[in-house]
């Protein structure tokens, strides 16, 4: 594709994935758990394609999210990621995704399925965003208005706790990564 179109697509992907990751930060442990799973995928990917610098970034992201998760799930010392935290993590994960696509396109590694692989790795943020925006538009509301139609809210309505919901959604993400 032409360079200018590639830049526009990259900007669109950054904005979309950062905000999609921000949208899943609605219950305790979900954003950090999904971030850990995505980062683990990138550790493996960058190890296999010999990009150890970005692999270390992925390991560092896991370490940060594990440290955060401890206090996010704590009853006594509870902290929240917030919009800034989820957007920073979303930016880092999106940067690693774009780097993977760039390396797969520019090298002789034979990785022609990198974009499809990334769809499976980012399945939870992407599907949640698409479903929530679709529901809002069908209800003639702004796609950017707040509501309780997120995937995690649906599990909470079924009677699951925050931790159970986070674990179920993380298992779904792992299932798609394995596929």
Contact 69, 127 (CB under 8 A): no
In 3-state terms, what secondary structure has residue 90?
A: helix
Average pLDDT, integer, range 64-79: 89
33, containing H or E segment = helix 30-48
The string of pLDDT tens digits covering residues 113-171 is 888 899 999 999 999 999 999 999 999 999 888 888 899 999 999 999 989 999 999 99
| Residue 8 pLDDT grade (very low, low, confident, very high; cuts 50, 70, 90) | very high
Q: Is the dihedral of CA 111, 126, 56, 165 positive or negative?
A: negative
Spatial distance between the Cα atoms of 173 and 121, rounded to a whole number of angstroms: 7
Asked whether residue 79 carries a pLDDT value surpassing 90, the answer given is no
């Amino acid at each position: 594709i032409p360079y200018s179109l590639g830049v526009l697509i990259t900007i669109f992907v950054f904005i979309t994935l950062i905000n999609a990751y921000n949208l899943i930060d609605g219950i305790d442990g979900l954003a950090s758990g999904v971030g850990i799973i995505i980062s683990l995928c990138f550790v493996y990917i960058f190890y296999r394609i010999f990009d150890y610098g970005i692999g270390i970034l992925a390991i560092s992201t896991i370490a940060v999210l594990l440290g955060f998760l401890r206090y996010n799930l704590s009853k006594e010392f509870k902290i929240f990621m917030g919009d800034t935290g989820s957007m920073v993590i979303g930016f880092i994960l999106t940067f690693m995704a774009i780097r993977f696509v760039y390396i797969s396109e520019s090298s002789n590694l034979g990785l022609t399925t990198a974009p499809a692989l990334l769809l499976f790795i980012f399945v939870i943020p992407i599907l949640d965003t698409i479903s929530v925006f679709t529901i809002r538009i069908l209800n003639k509301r702004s796609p950017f208005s707040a509501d309780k139609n997120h995937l995690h809210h649906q599990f909470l309505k079924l009677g699951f706790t925050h931790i159970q919901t986070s674990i179920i959604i993380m298992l779904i993400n792992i299932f798609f990564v394995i596929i």
